[in-house]
């Protein structure tokens, strides 16, 4: 008798997402309030949906260029040039079949067995697993919670770099903390990366979801076109398009021929009609962005004010993204805490341990939801949290 069919040991050994572990326990539960995923309760706006429907009806249902349709790449180049202090040209824009596919493409392109990448943490677990899938080593540089909120010392990044370091991966605004890397620190990292000849991979998916400015500081403000800098972005968060699975990379133009080949052998191209919808999002979506950020600001304030009133909870109001990442005194197993809250309240939260070692007593809550839903959720979970563990 032969053994059970299995895949590569590296893949078989992947740790299941702890966010999914909790979510799977609650799927199908009546009256569930799901605040575990990074997903708004807002539907994609009609002007984007209608653009996709019109595109399908008019025949945009065939293969497209590997790097994305020209009109969308031009629209993204114009959009980013308007946001940042340096012009971005179309030959640096690659459309991807989601932000996460963009991350995996970069890992396939850059990471070789034995390489390490320095990653700011806490971090969305998919980012570090994409490194391990390429037999690379993630090295975590901690963002630390102090009296003035979450802070990162660039020296903590630099101390982890050695001769096998391929890249520094920075997620700002950060999931889950909402920390934002300011421009002065970005310049320090860029200068260091130039000196060492390593890459900077900047996950800026939440760059428009910020509460004290129109856009977060970006490495695109500082980098020259052929610097070893790649910026990852997505339509999911800014335009409430999580289910559409569309993103883009801004890269040195010299990478485009290789990316084009990788995309061909990976998924060929992003769907044409979703790209047509994305054109509408980029060109006509500014009013929507401003309205949705205001909604998230109200959600942030509601949730954080309730949590700040608990003596056994520590939290800093996030400057960006749409998560409350808070510490609960005495907790030793964040998965079990989230399971307990789910059983008792039907509110779904994400365990802190999903975001790296050292966050076992943290919980993440997505506040990209209506005030009514968030108020109900807080009424339910605050008494449980106040009990302590």
Domains recognised in the chain with CATH numbers: 9-44+287-384 (3.90.1150.10), 62-284 (3.40.640.10)
pLDDT in tens, 59-112: 999 999 999 999 999 999 999 999 998 999 999 999 999 999 999 999 999 999
The Cα–Cα gap between 363 and 347 comes to 12
Position 388 scores a pLDDT of 65
Position 225 scores a pLDDT of 95
Position 9 scores a pLDDT of 85
Summarize the confidence of residues 16-26 as an average pLDDT.
Answer: 81
The Cα–Cα gap between 262 and 275 comes to 19
Helix, strand or coil, per DSSP, at residue 37: coil
Q: Which residue has the tokens 């660039």?
A: 154
pLDDT band for position 251 (cuts 50, 70, 90): very high
Position 8 scores a pLDDT of 82
Dihedral Cα 322, 326, 332, 335, nearest 10 deg:
-20
- Indicate if the pLDDT at residue 338 is higher than 60: yes
Position 11 scores a pLDDT of 80
* pTM given for the model: 0.95
């Amino acid at each position: 008798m032969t053994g059970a069919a299995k895949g590569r040991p590296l893949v078989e050994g992947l740790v299941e997402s702890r966010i999914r572990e909790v979510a799977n326990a609650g799927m199908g539960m009546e009256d569930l309030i799901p605040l575990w995923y990074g997903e708004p309760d807002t539907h994609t706006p009609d002007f984007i949906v209608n653009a996709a429907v019109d595109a399908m009806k008019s025949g945009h249902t065939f293969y497209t260029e590997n790097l994305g349709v020209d009109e969308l790449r031009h629209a993204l180049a114009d959009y980013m040039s308007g946001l940042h202090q340096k012009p971005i040209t179309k030959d640096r824009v690659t459309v991807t079949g989601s932000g996460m596919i963009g991350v995996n493409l970069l890992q396939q392109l850059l990471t070789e067995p034995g390489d390490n990448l320095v990653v700011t943490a806490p971090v969305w677990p998919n980012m570090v697993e994409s490194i391990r899938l390429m037999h690379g080593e993630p090295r975590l540089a901690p963002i630390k919670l102090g009296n003035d909120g979450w802070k990162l010392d660039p020296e903590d990044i630099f101390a982890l770099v050695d001769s096998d370091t391929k890249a520094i991966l920075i997620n700002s605004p950060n999931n889950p903390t909402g920390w934002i890397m300011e421009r002065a620190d970005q310049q320090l990292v860029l200068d260091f990366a130039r000196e060492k000849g390593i890459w900077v991979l900047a996950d800026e998916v939440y760059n428009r979801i910020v509460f004290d400015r129109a856009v977060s500081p970006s490495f695109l403000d500082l980098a020259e076109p052929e610097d070893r800098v790649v910026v990852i972005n997505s339509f999911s968060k800014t335009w409430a398009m999580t289910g559409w699975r569309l993103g883009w990379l801004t890269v040195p133009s010299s990478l485009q021929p290789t990316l084009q080949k990788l995309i061909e052998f990976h998924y060929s191209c992003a769907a044409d009609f979703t790209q047509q919808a994305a054109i509408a999002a980029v060109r006509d979506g500014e009013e929507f962005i401003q309205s949705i950020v205001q909604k998230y600001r109200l959600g942030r304030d509601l949730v954080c004010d309730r949590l700040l009133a608990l003596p056994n909870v520590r939290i800093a109001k996030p400057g960006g993204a749409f998560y409350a990442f808070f510490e609960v005194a005495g907790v030793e197993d964040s998965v079990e805490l989230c399971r307990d809250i789910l059983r008792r309240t039907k509110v779904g939260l994400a365990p802190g341990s999903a975001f790296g070692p050292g966050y076992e007593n943290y919980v993440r809550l997505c506040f990209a939801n209506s005030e009514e839903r968030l108020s109900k959720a807080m009424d339910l979970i605050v008494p449980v949290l106040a009990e302590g563990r």
